[in-house]
Amino acid sequence: MLPKDRRKQSIYFAEATLAEMRHQADRLDRSLSWIAQEAWRNARGELLAMPGANDGPQSRALAPSAADPKTP
């Protein structure tokens, strides 16, 4: 198992999002860091299922054109 990376990171949230996170942190008696980490763990599967910008079919500009007489 890989060692845990304990470097400090800064993440910026919209004011409304941060207020909701603070409310949930208070409600659950947890830290904002814990809330953000749990949100990531819960959403990770859905995010990995989304196609990336480079995962889709090739651009038509790169694919051979049907109108190109050189294309078989």
Domain definitions of the chain by residue range: 15-40
Q: How confident is the model at residue 70 (pLDDT cuts 50, 70, 90)?
A: low
Query: Mean pLDDT over residues 24-32, rounded?
Result: 97
Reported as a single tens digit per residue, the pLDDT across 1-23 is 778 888 888 889 999 999 999 99
Task: Give the integer Cα–Cα distance in Å for 22 and 35.
Answer: 9
Cβ-based neighbours of 24, under 8 Å, separated by 6 or more: 30, 35
Tell whether the model's pLDDT for residue 30 goes beyond 80.
yes
CB 25 within 8 A of CB 35: yes
Reported as a single tens digit per residue, the pLDDT across 35-50 is 999 999 999 999 999 9
Task: Give the integer Cα–Cα distance in Å for 49 and 7.
Answer: 28
